[in-house]
Amino acid sequence: MTMGQDMDIKYEAVSKVVSRMTKGEAVVLIVLNGNDGTGYSILAESGLRELLPILLRKVATQISTDNVPSGVGAMDSTSDS
């Protein structure tokens, strides 16, 4: 797997372990406030690297949707307008 220049070296070993354990074609690892601080690592073949922005946007949208309190943004049919 190729490593991008954007990879955080301190989490490279963890990404490699995850890749071997899962036999995954790509690994995106994000660590917040870990033992070695905050960082990320991306291991992916070049063809998959190009798909990562799309996938990460979908993940971000899902996280945002999951964190919206019920009723926020929805039209309330009982309100007086």
Query: Does residue 40 lie within any of the structural domains?
Result: yes
Residue 61 makes CB contacts below 8 A (sequence gap 6+) with: none
Structural domain boundaries enclosing 37: 9-64
77 is a domain residue: no
Asked if residue 72 belongs to a domain, the reply is no
Higher pLDDT, 68 or 59: 59
**Residue 28: CA count within 13 A, CB half-sphere:** 9
pLDDT digits (tens, 9 = 90+) for 14-57: 999 999 999 999 999 999 999 889 999 999 988 898 999 999 99
At residue 7, the pLDDT reads 54
Asked if residue 27 belongs to a domain, the reply is yes
Judged against a pLDDT cut of 60, whether residue 76 lies above it is answered with no
What count of other Cβ atoms lies within 10 Å of the Cβ of residue 10? 16
Give pTM, 2 decimals. Answer: 0.66
Strands (E), the chain: 26-34, 37-44
